[in-house]
Amino acid sequence: MDADPLPPLGAYDPETLDQAFSALREEVETSARALAGPELFRLRWLGRKQGRLKLLSDAWLKEAPPEARRTVGQRFNELKAAIEQTLHALEQQGDASALLGESIDISLPGTAPRLGAEHPLMRTMQDMVQVFERMGYSVASGPEVETDFYNFEALNFPPGHPARDTQDTLVLANQERKPARERLLMRTHTSTVQIRTMESQPPPVRVVIPGKVHRNDESDATHSPVFHQIEGLCVGTDITFADLKGTLDHAMRAFFGPAVRTRFFPSFFPFTEPSADVQISCPFCGGRGCRKCKHSGWIELLGCGMVHPEVFRAVAGKQPAYDPARVSGFAFGMGVDRIAMMKYGITDIGLLYSGDARFLEQFR
Ligand code: PHE
């Protein structure tokens, strides 16, 4: 819409003004009908640079002789009010016809948003963590790329200790120039965060650590180089092996059902002494024997033990309250993938890492 410049008014007597302004009022009405929509109308009349009102003000108001300014200004304001009113009406009309124009067929099915599903691993991890939260544990985490110190040395695996071999560690390249304890690797267990937690706070500690771990394992139906653990650590004064047994026994019943029993076997970990492996009675067959428990009635689920004095010594430099003569504690670690597979009847661990929506959709 081009803006025709307004001719000068010429005279400022009431008659001329009457004529000029009523012509403008008519023009407002016609353009409200002629222009397609409120926005064009607004531009035509109220546009800041080329709007008619601006041109009008330039040509008539500013040029008016001093004695006519008041009356021209008044008319100018009236016209402006009329324009704004018309614009408002146009806008409301637009809204109303937009509503009417959109015909709604209420018999059509709705558009269902595609719902995501919580990954079975994350759900299992969350459920298990919650069991411990209800017992007063808090949740901690740590880095997956770790130093040799946190993954091994502080946990009482000295350099060259044969127990390191059982962990099939993936190490980062180009670390040879660093001192051994600073070399980086992918953490092989969440026990690293035991050390990090104790370094950052004095006892008492009750913490669970869910997280991803890595080992140089060949993939097959039950092994994956990436898997998940939940670590637990409880440190205070007078924490005993009976507390460890009671805690795990309760946690297993809370997670798998009240009929589940636990049993403890001697085992070995460098960072616990004594150490134990824990089995639960098969939650699927009640211990009578089935495919899931390989007909033994029992399922091995976790490793645990009393925190080794050397572990306390490793953190006592930073937190002197971890004096092995004064504090005691227990730790445990379980594999989440195995628990999730058991719980949901998944036979191939690879499915948990495949990112296949057809697999994940089943857990909605
Ligand atoms: N970190 C051990 C593992 O990965 C499990 C464990 C944790 C054992 C805590 C004892 C105490 O095998």
Q: How far apart are CA 186 and CA 225, in angstroms?
A: 11
Token pair, residue 7, equals 């001719």
Token pair, residue 39, equals 């926005």
User: 359 and 269 in one domain?
Assistant: yes
Instruction: Compute, in angstroms, the gap from residue 271 CA to the centroid of ligand 1.
Output: 8
pLDDT for 100: 67
Instruction: Compute, in angstroms, the gap from residue 189 CA to the centroid of ligand 1.
Output: 7
Q: Is the CB of 239 under 6 A from ligand 1?
A: no
- The C-alpha angle with vertex 39 and arms to 34 and 42, in degrees rounded to 5, equals 80
pLDDT for 108: 85
User: 80 and 47 in one domain?
Assistant: yes
From the CA of 188, give the closest atom in ligand 1: 4
Instruction: Compute, in angstroms, the gap from residue 179 CA to the centroid of ligand 1.
Output: 26
Q: Is the CB of 157 under 6 A from ligand 1?
A: no
**Does 79 fall in a domain?**
yes
Domains in the chain: how many in total?
2
Q: How far apart are CA 210 and CA 189, in angstroms?
A: 10
**Does 106 fall in a domain?**
no
pLDDT for 1: 44
User: 173 and 319 in one domain?
Assistant: yes
Q: Cα torsion at 171, 302, 235, 237 (round to 10°)?
A: -140
Q: Which residues of 54-89 are buried (b: 16+ CB within 10 A; e: fewer)?
A: ebbbeebbeebeeebeeebeebbeebeebbeebbee
User: 127 and 63 in one domain?
Assistant: no
pLDDT for 204: 98
User: 190 and 88 in one domain?
Assistant: no
Q: How far is CA 249 from the centre of its chain?
A: 32
User: 93 and 185 in one domain?
Assistant: no
Which of 47, 65, 99 delimits the end of a domain? 99
pLDDT in tens, the chain (364 residues): 445 667 777 788 888 888 888 888 898 888 888 887 888 889 899 888 888 888 888 888 888 888 888 888 888 899 999 999 988 988 888 777 766 666 777 888 888 888 888 999 999 999 999 999 999 999 999 999 999 999 999 999 988 888 787 778 999 999 999 999 999 999 999 999 999 999 999 999 999 999 999 999 899 999 999 999 999 999 999 999 999 999 999 999 999 999 999 999 999 999 999 999 999 999 999 999 998 888 999 999 999 999 999 999 999 999 999 999 999 999 999 999 999 999 999 999 999 999 998 999 898 8
User: 208 and 62 in one domain?
Assistant: no
**Does 110 fall in a domain?**
no
Q: How far apart are CA 252 and CA 220, in angstroms?
A: 27
User: 355 and 221 in one domain?
Assistant: yes
Instruction: Compute, in angstroms, the gap from residue 257 CA to the centroid of ligand 1.
Output: 24
Phi, psi of 4 (to 5 degrees): -70, 125
**In terms of residue numbers, what domain contains 48?**
14-99
Q: Is the CB of 331 under 6 A from ligand 1?
A: yes
Q: Ligand 1: which residue has its CA nearest to atom 6?
A: 333
Q: Which residues of 7-19 are buried (b: 16+ CB within 10 A; e: fewer)?
A: eebeebeeeebee
